[in-house]
Amino acid sequence: MTLQAGDRVHARFLSNLASIGVFVLLLFATTWVFVPYLLTSARYPASGDVSGMLPIAVQRGPSPEIVRWADYVHDKLAFDGHLFVGQAGKTYTLNETDSFKMRPLANGGYELELDTDDYVFWSDYAIVEGKPVPTKFRFTGAFAAMYGLGVAIAGAYLFNWFLKRWLIRRNARKAVPEVTASA
Percent of the chain with pLDDT over 70: 88
Is pLDDT above 80 for 4?
Answer: no
107 residue type, one letter: N
Distance CA 16, CA 153 (A): 13
Residue 113 pairs in a beta bridge with 101, 122
- Kind and range of the H or E run holding 19: helix 5-29
Q: Report the mean per-residue pLDDT for the chain.
A: 85
Is the entire prediction scored with pTM above 0.75? no
State the DSSP string of 27-45.
HHHIIIIIIIIIIS-EETT
What does the pLDDT read at residue 64? 92
Percent of the chain with pLDDT over 90: 38
CA 31 to chain centre: 4
What does the pLDDT read at residue 175? 62
